[in-house]
């Protein structure tokens, strides 16, 4: 099955085979070596040249575990978070801070538009109690890339902490984490890194990590300070998904061999192939060209077809597409192009898609 949903993705045989590494105990040196290797590779991939300024915290969980851990660990007593929301994952950031009443009213933007740095500037002038500003890099709900570097400049100018959910961005979209002085960036193994679900991570500026050691602990499992203290000693506080970590290490090795810039280029080329052929068929992307990501496109459904009929016919041919979310659910479909996919997979999908749509048109 070719997965054209935004994760979990098709992985390479090499990554799949890594699941079969020997059974080990997470309190033994073999696990410390595995963890150290993953942390090192994360820094090499995402903060090249600034490895000594950041630390990588690895967690067992899906992307949301890393996002929640980052948010709830980074707000000191009596301070607040400001969430920037232009889609489902921005909404989730708000939901997380609201569970603990740690937010000021979020800044909400229309779906399909980008976050606006000028509005953030104004909000930060009005709200000295805001310590953390949280935003999504690649808003996967429609495939919008937010202007993280411009936002970071504003947040930095106000001396606040910028937290970025790049769960669907890292590895597939450019992000200059060190250059933009991002304090916390959450990611996960099962999207553009091309690993399996079950491993997530947060990249944290080291100086800020030391400060967070003194912040309130708002949970037991998802506290970054707890992980940091253990991981610095080569240990981990809770039982990790060891086999998934083996595969994660292999996926990171593969990413470093391909090169992050080359992976981004591959995704961009595939996204362009998809968009061009779809437009030739009269199926148009929802998001303006300048905001589109490299790894996912939201399209209006072909005339006369429901999502269910399109999805089921494509699945019968071996391709999984993805539904829309929220109020656009019945009007759109999404095609992601992440994972261990080659040009031929994309071309075969497009041929199948064209055939399905033509047959449906004939039956109208
Ligand atoms: C931007 C973004 N953030 C967070 C998540 C949540 O990740 P998970 O489902 O792994 O918890 C996703 C998943 O698609 C995402 O796209």
Residue-level pLDDT at 358: 92
Percent of all residues in the chain with a pLDDT value above 90, rounded to a whole number: 96
Span from the CA of 62 to the centroid of ligand 1 (angstroms): 8
pLDDT digits (tens, 9 = 90+) for 64-81: 999 999 999 999 999 999
Span from the CA of 64 to the centroid of ligand 1 (angstroms): 6
Q: For residue 100, is pLDDT > 80? A: yes
Q: What is the DSSP letter of 163?
A: E
> Checking phi first, is residue 282 left (phi over 0); if not, alpha (psi -120 to 50) or beta?
left
Q: What is the mean pLDDT of residues 239-250?
A: 98
The ligand 1 atom at the shortest distance from the C-alpha of residue 67 is 4
Q: Where are the domains of the chain?
A: 13-258, 260-363
CATH hierarchy code of domain 260-363: 3.90.1150.10
The ligand 1 atom at the shortest distance from the C-alpha of residue 137 is 1
Residue-level pLDDT at 94: 98
Q: Counting beta carbons within 10 angstroms of the beta carbon of residue 114, is it exposed (0 to 12), middle (13 to 18) or buried (19 or more)?
A: buried
Across the chain, mean pLDDT equals: 97
Structure tokens at 323: 């539904």
Q: What is the mean pLDDT of residues 221-225?
A: 98
Q: Which residues line ligand 1 (CB under 6 A)?
A: 6-7, 62-64, 67, 89, 136, 138, 140, 165, 167-168, 188
Residue-level pLDDT at 330: 85
Q: For residue 253, is pLDDT > 80? A: yes
Structure tokens at 220: 């037991």
Structure tokens at 36: 């150290």
Span from the CA of 28 to the centroid of ligand 1 (angstroms): 31
pTM, entire model: 0.97
In sequence order, the 6+-apart residues with CB closer than 8 A to the CB of 164 are 134, 135, 136, 137, 148, 175, 182, 184, 185, 186
What pairs with residue 83 in β-bridges?
134
How far, in Å, CA of 337 to CA of 345, rounded?
10
The CATH number corresponding to 13-258 among 3.30.210.10, 3.40.50.2300, 3.40.640.10, 3.30.1330.20 equals 3.40.640.10
Residue closest by Cα to atom 7 of ligand 1: 63
Span from the CA of 5 to the centroid of ligand 1 (angstroms): 12
pLDDT digits (tens, 9 = 90+) for 141-200: 999 999 999 999 999 999 999 999 999 999 999 999 999 999 999 999 999 999 999 999
Residue-level pLDDT at 257: 98
Q: What is the mean pLDDT of residues 102-124?
A: 97
Span from the CA of 246 to the centroid of ligand 1 (angstroms): 21
Q: For residue 83, is pLDDT > 80? A: yes
Residue closest by Cα to atom 2 of ligand 1: 167
Residue-level pLDDT at 364: 62
Q: For residue 328, is pLDDT > 70? A: yes
Using CA atoms, how far residue 285 sits from 69, 133, 299, in Å, is 34, 30, 4
How far, in Å, CA of 102 to CA of 96, rounded?
9
Residue-level pLDDT at 39: 98
Q: What is the mean pLDDT of residues 290-307?
A: 95
Span from the CA of 86 to the centroid of ligand 1 (angstroms): 14
């Amino acid at each position: 099955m070719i997965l054209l949903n935004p994760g979990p993705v098709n992985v390479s045989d090499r990554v799949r085979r890594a699941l079969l590494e020997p059974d080990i105990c997470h309190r033994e040196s073999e696990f410390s070596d595995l963890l150290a290797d993953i942390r090192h590779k994360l820094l090499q991939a995402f903060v090249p040249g600034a490895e000594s300024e950041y630390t990588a915290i690895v967690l067992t969980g899906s992307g949301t575990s890393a996002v929640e851990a980052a948010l709830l660990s980074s707000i000191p007593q009596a301070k607040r978070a400001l969430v920037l929301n232009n889609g489902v994952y921005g909404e989730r950031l708000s939901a997380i801070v609201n569970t603990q009443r740690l937010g000021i009213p979020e800044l909400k933007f229309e779906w399909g538009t980008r976050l606006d740095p000028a509005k953030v500037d104004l909000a930060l002038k009005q709200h000295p109690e805001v310590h953390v500003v949280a935003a999504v890099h690649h808003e996967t709900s429609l495939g919008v890339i937010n202007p993280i570097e411009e936002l970071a400049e504003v947040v930095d100018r106000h001396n606040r902490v910028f937290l970025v959910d790049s769960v669907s961005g890292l590895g597939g979209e450019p992000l200059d984490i060190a250059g933009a002085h991002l304090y916390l960036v959450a990611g996960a193994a099962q999207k553009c890194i091309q690993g399996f679900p079950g491993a997530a991570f947060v990249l944290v500026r080291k100086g800020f990590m030391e400060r967070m050691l003194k912040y309130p602990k708002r949970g037991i499992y998802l506290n970054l300070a707890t992980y940091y203290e253990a991981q610095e000693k080569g240990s981990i506080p809770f039982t990790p998904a060891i086999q998934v970590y083996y595969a994660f290490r292999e996926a990171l090795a593969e990413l470093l061999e391909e090169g992050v810039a080359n992976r981004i280029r591959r995704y961009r080329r595939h996204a362009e192939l998809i968009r061009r052929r779809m437009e030739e068929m009269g199926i148009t992307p929802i998001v303006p060209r300048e905001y589109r990501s490299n790894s996912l496109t939201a399209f209006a459904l072909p005339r006369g077809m429901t999502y269910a009929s399109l999805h089921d016919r494509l699945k019968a041919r071996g391709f999984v597409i993805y539904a829309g979310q929220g109020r656009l659910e019945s009007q759109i479909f999404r095609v992601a192009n992440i994972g261990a996919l080659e040009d031929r997979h994309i071309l075969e999908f497009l041929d199948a898609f064209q055939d399905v749509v033509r047959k449906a048109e004939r039956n109208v």
